[in-house]
Amino acid sequence: MNDKTVIVTGGARGIGRAVVQAFAEAGADVVIADLRFEDANDTAVKISGTSGRRVVAVQTDVTKREDIEKLRDETLRMFTKIDVLINCAGWDRLLPFLKTTPDLWQKVLSINFLGVVNMCHVILPHMVERKQGAVVNISSDTGLVGSFGEAIYASSKAAIMAFSKTIAREHARDNIRVNVVSPGLCDTPLIDEMRADELTAKILGSIVNFIPLKRLGRPDEISPLVVFLASDAASYITGQVYSINGGLNMVG
């Protein structure tokens, strides 16, 4: 990834943070696009210090088009090009479907699905112009198999898969590859926050028994595949979905 420029949404913490670190260690410069500016900046300073690469934070809400346009312009000003886009920003809460409200549906779909759509709509034209680029979208196995208490979240993640396959077809002619990484259950701040709810803690606690590898994943077990898919080593791979889930689902 030497001297590639990578944008990682949701890179302040969790899986996104591990992805930022893996790209920087592989020689890339990274722009962290996250709502949480302080966390993003802290991550950027630390990873830049250990990797020796330029890692910067640009406060971005992926649901806001004007933020993403600013992110694109800032990135081009600093690095002149965008080689790779990783869409990792996401949000979730467990609640049985009939207890959910349209406000919650709106929030989940806006961040998880339309966030990815917004990012691609603003960044892809630059890649098309250069006839070069790679996109990796972070989905979830809930989008493949469904998940109790996550009707709309799972739907948003399934939508990411269909969207990614479609733009992979549309932009193969532009030498742009689009793939999906689909984690199972991974130990991150998001999961910690979700555990604050009693029912959620119970459900998450019981799922571990069904994971063949008998534990949650770590963010640094997701990031290597993301970097591989964005690299030239994956030059013949596009429109694919890869699960990383300790064996919880075996749907491929």
Ligand X SMILES: NC(=O)c1ccc[n+]([C@@H]2O[C@H](COP(=O)([O-])OP(=O)(O)OC[C@H]3O[C@@H](n4cnc5c(N)ncnc54)[C@H](O)[C@@H]3O)[C@@H](O)[C@H]2O)c1
Q: Catalogue the active-site residues.
A: 153
Residue 12 or 22 with smaller CB distance to ligand X: 12
> Six-digit token pair at 107?
């929030």
151 binds ligand X (CB under 6 A): no
Smallest gap, in angstroms, from Cβ of residue 174 to ligand X? 25
What interhelical angle do 65-79 and 115-130 show, nearest 10?
40
Q: How far apart are CA 149 and CA 49, in angstroms?
A: 40
44 binds ligand X (CB under 6 A): no
62 binds ligand X (CB under 6 A): yes
Describe the strand order of the beta sheet including 55-59 as a list of residue ranges: 55-59, 29-34, 5-9, 84-87, 133-138, 176-183, 241-244
Residue 128 or 204 with smaller CB distance to ligand X: 204
Report the phi/psi class of residue 231: left, alpha or beta, with left for phi > 0 and alpha for psi in -120 to 50: beta
Smallest gap, in angstroms, from Cβ of residue 13 to ligand X? 4
Residue 131 or 214 with smaller CB distance to ligand X: 214
CA torsion through residues 74, 22, 47, 117, sign: positive
For ligand X, the binding residues in 8-37 under the rule CB under 6 A are 9-10, 12-16, 34-36
Smallest gap, in angstroms, from Cβ of residue 77 to ligand X? 20
Stretch of residues binding ligand X (CB under 6 A), selected from 23-31, 55-63, 117-125, 164-172: 55-63
CA torsion through residues 140, 141, 144, 145, sign: negative
Residue 109 or 237 with smaller CB distance to ligand X: 109
CB 22 within 8 A of CB 225: no
Query: Site residues (CB under 6 A) for ligand X?
Result: 9-10, 12-16, 34-36, 60-63, 88-92, 111, 115, 138, 140, 183, 185-186, 188-191
